[in-house]
Amino acid sequence: MPSLFITATGTHVGKTHTTLKLIEAFAKQGIKTGVYKPIETGVKGEPEDAKALLEACRSVNPDFTGLAPADITAYTFSLPAAPFCADTKQEIKPEKIFEKYEELSKRCDLLLIEGAGGLMVPITQTYKMVDLAKALHCPVLLVTPSRLGCINDTLLSIEALRSRGIDFDWCVNLHEDKERFAEVTQPYYDAAFPGWWSVDKHIGEFISRLL
């Protein structure tokens, strides 16, 4: 498994939080992990998500020590919006994303790729984040929220992955409305997906299955 694509049902769900947990957990298994944030929007100065990922990666992989946050991204934009909308000059070329992927893959045993927004977020007019995940031929980890309404978001994202034949697992980031999660959401997950798991409690078990 040379790479793992981390996505979510939408923005501000917990992709970076989950990826940081994965870096730590893979390191405990002796896996030399790398990180890649292909596109980051809402950037004022340094890309904050890429910076956090790189700082964590440097502590477990010396081959990423000499890199800057900009080195682990292919594109950054100042507008906090979907890549297609933030890319006001229409600069994005999928080929550049793949070139950076190949470059960073050589520095690690496993490259963690963090998407932007959710699966159906447009990168270009005709190319979405889910298309990038499929083109990279790697398994996907879907992060879902705990807030009211997340069942619908989770099921739609699962349907998008299944319809494209993408190998995936999914987990819940218990953060928003977590006090009500056990009452308003968990009953359905327990009935329909008895193997569902949460980021903070079950990352280790997920990695054991992967390895």
pLDDT < 70 regions, the chain: 1
Output the domain CATH number for residue 79: 3.40.50.300
C-alpha separations of 56 from 11, 49, 78, 138, 166 in Å = 21, 11, 24, 22, 28
CA-wise closest residue to 203 among 153, 146, 154, 143 = 143
pTM: 0.96
96 is a catalytic site residue: no
Catalytic residue among 21, 28, 32, 37: 37
Domain that holds residue 87: 3-210
pLDDT at 210: 86
| Residue 122 DSSP one-character state | B
Tally the domains of the chain.
1
CB neighbourhood size of 10 (10 A): 18
